[in-house]
Structure 1
Amino acid sequence: MSRITQTGRRRVGFGLVAAILLVGLAIRLGADEPEIALTPGEAWEDMRQRSSATIDPAITGRHWFRIPKSDARLRLVDAEYGFVTPLARFFTIGFDNERIGSIRMSPQIEPISLDDTLKVVLDLQDQWRKGGWLPIHIKDNPPFADTPQWHAQLRDVNRGGVSYWQAGDKYQVMLLVNRFKDYRNPNEERYLITLALATPWIPQ
């Protein structure tokens, strides 16, 4: 009986060690996701040095954009208003004379289902609310929500949805969702999210 108990304890011990290692690996992998960490208006080289994703230098005296060399998430570097997106495949960062301009990205690596789309946009909105961002132009473009009305609107290929958020006088975000014809999955509903970040460009 003691041998069985001892064996059982060993198995439990090994199981706990394995579980701890797996959790640690998952945390490490999440932390190692390539990211572009930036603040609109800062020097392009500051962003390059801070980011773990590779991106080319800016061009002196030019107004243009660059694309990260791999899928990458966006991290807005701001002690009060910062937020983080999921990994993005479409990700453009504009520059003007070697300074960060506007950012336009799709915080996903492929077209996704409506449920997954709402998870992404609601998580972003939660981060903004907690950070003190405020939705603007809510009469015509209210924040996204997991409601039958929003489901119906987003499923309408001619409508989609958009929401605008502002962080004090520092940043604005446009969050846009549209239904997408995914030829790899022609019988499934798929969606694309577009996120644009810049210094405020739309009057409140």
Structure 2
Amino acid sequence: MIVWWRAVRGWRLPLLIILSVLAVPWAIQALSDDPEIALEMGGTYEDLHKRSSVSFSPLIRGHAWMGIPKTDASLRFIDPQYGFVTPPARFFTVGFNDNVITSIRMSPQIEPLLLDDALKVALDLQNQWRQGRWRVAGPRSYPPFADTPAWRARFREVSQGGTTYWQAGEKYQVAMFMNRFKYSKRPNEERYLITLSIGKPWTPFDDE
């Protein structure tokens, strides 16, 4: 019995080393993979499920329906030219017709943000769209956001806020809204909410 225990105890250190070596890649992968919903407009529920790193609502066959991620997640919008990535979102819905993706509505933030932080998110998204050759749709009526005194004053007006539309050829349109938001957890701070609506072009514009 003593001989057997010594043999087992002698194997423990090499075994622990082996297990540690095997666990390192898994741990690195787990830490490096940010929660993400990866989808293609017009793609399928099955493709979303395969490409994403978080769980999603169960498929509802034969109906128009809305699904949500099971946890906070960023959006990776897949397109060879027009793709972009958002920060993690808590409000995140995907519209389906049967199993086909038709729309997205989300807020690319975990909580309402201070104005500086909200502008950083909005301007980064606009930069991604510019680099992907999206164009501003209706630039006279709905110009792109900018970090200027005029825009800051407009955002601070509770009754105003801002809206800008961007379009990717004839494939997609996105409306980005940014408004002041009363945040119960921070009642004495000015907080802001950004909302994105993404789908096939739905609003025509005369002032191109």
TM-score, normalization by structure 1 = 0.84
Aligned to 1:49: 50
Unpaired stretches in structure 2, ≥5 consecutive residues: 1-27
Aligned to 1:16: none
Aligned to 1:189: 190
Distance 1:170 1:58 in 2: 25
8 Å contact from structure 1 (residues 45, 57) kept in 2: no
Aligned to 2:122: 121
Aligned to 2:95: 94
Cα distance, 1:56 vs structure 2: 2.3
Distance 1:169 1:185 in 2: 41
Moved over 6 A (4+): none
Cα distance, 1:186 vs structure 2: 1.1
Aligned to 2:15: none
Aligned-partner SS, 1:55: coil
Superimposed CA distance per residue, residues 35-78 of structure 1 (whole angstroms, 9 cap, x where no aligned partner)? 11111111111111111121023211110101100000001111
Superimposed CA distance per residue, residues 11-57 of structure 1 (whole angstroms, 9 cap, x where no aligned partner)? xxxxxxxxxxxxxx7x984x411111111111111111111121023
Aligned to 1:165: 166
Cα distance, 1:201 vs structure 2: 1.0
**Alignment map for 1:61-80 (pairs within 5 Å):** 61-80=62-81
Cα distance, 1:140 vs structure 2: 1.1
8 Å contact from structure 1 (residues 133, 166) kept in 2: yes
Distance 1:41 1:160 in 2: 31
Letter in 2 for 1:188: E
Cα distance, 1:203 vs structure 2: 1.5
Letter in 2 for 1:65: M
Cα distance, 1:190 vs structure 2: 0.2
Superimposed CA distance per residue, residues 88-112 of structure 1 (whole angstroms, 9 cap, x where no aligned partner)? 0000001011110110000000011
TM-score, normalization by structure 2 = 0.83
Unpaired stretches in structure 1, ≥5 consecutive residues: 1-24
Q: State the Cα RMSD in Å.
A: 1.4
Aligned-partner SS, 1:45: helix
8 Å contact from structure 1 (residues 58, 95) kept in 2: no
Distance 2:189 2:110 in 1: 17
Aligned to 1:152: 153
- CA distance 1:43–1:184, change in 2 (3 Å): same
Letter in 1 for 2:93: T
- CA distance 1:36–1:202, change in 2 (3 Å): same
Q: Which has the larger radius of gyration?
A: 2
